[in-house]
Homo-oligomer: A and B are copies of this chain.
Amino acid sequence: MATVKVHGSVFSTASQRVLVCLHEKELDFEFVPVDMSSGDHKKPPFLSLNPFGQLPAFEEGDLKLFESRAITQYISHTNPNKGNQLICQDPKKMAIMSVWMEVEAHEFDPPSSKLAWEQAFKPMFGMTTDVAVVEENEAKLAKVLDIYEARLAQSKYMGGDCFTLVDLHHLPNIQYLMDTQSKKLFDSRPHVRTWCSDILARPNWLKVVAMKNN
């Protein structure tokens, strides 16, 4: 396997998704920081890796990928025998996993990303949180988490019996929201609360949190 390079930022949720996946699979990689404050992700050298100018980008020899969820799937499919298993081999179980991967991307990510932006990122940049946007997106996220509560009453993890990419894809936004008032949405639902405590405590995730805090 050629050396893996991840071009990203330790603060970007999509970059974190790829980093935790590489740690879970116990793969070596080179992390290439992209300076978002200088707009480097919107300039030509980075745009040749991802024409949409979004972090992260992934290189393995001549293979260049972007879109964090496509990258984590590639890593997991091509390294079945390394680190932790993050996907299911059985096609029906894989299909159920795919359903919940789509749910994370289309239902969970939009409101949780907006809540993280308003409450975690804006204060970092000295900007003011928009309370109306927070209220609107907390209401949306609450409805999604009601369905998660029912799912987690039946299944230990969101994708099935064991930790998979479905759970992993949730980690960055949940981590940011744990330091905001939106934490209450997770804490007030017992199965969701237990699931969060479990996945946030994974040593491979804590390595990514440590990169951000250093």
**Chain A positions near chain B (C-beta within 8 angstroms):** 51-52, 63, 65-67, 69-71, 73-74, 77-78, 91-92, 94-96, 98-99, 101-103, 105-107, 147, 150-151
Please pick, from B74, B103, B107, the residue contacting A95 in the complex, using a CB distance under 8 A. Answer: B74
**Which DSSP category, helix, strand, loop or mixed, fits chain A's interface?**
helix
Contact of A99 among B66, B95, B101, B151 (CB under 8 A): B66
- 8 Å CB contact of A105 from B96, B105, B107: B105
Contact of A96 among B51, B65, B107 (CB under 8 A): B65
Shortest CB distance A140–B (Å): 12
8 pairs of residues in contact across A and B, judged by CB atoms under 8 Å? A63-B95, A65-B96, A66-B99, A70-B95, A70-B98, A70-B102, A71-B95, A77-B91
Docked CA distance A96–B74 (Å): 9
Inter-subunit contact B105/A52 (CB<8 Å): no
**In angstroms, how far is the closest chain B Cβ from the Cβ of A154?**
11
Q: Are B95 and A52 in contact, with the CB atoms below 8 A?
A: no
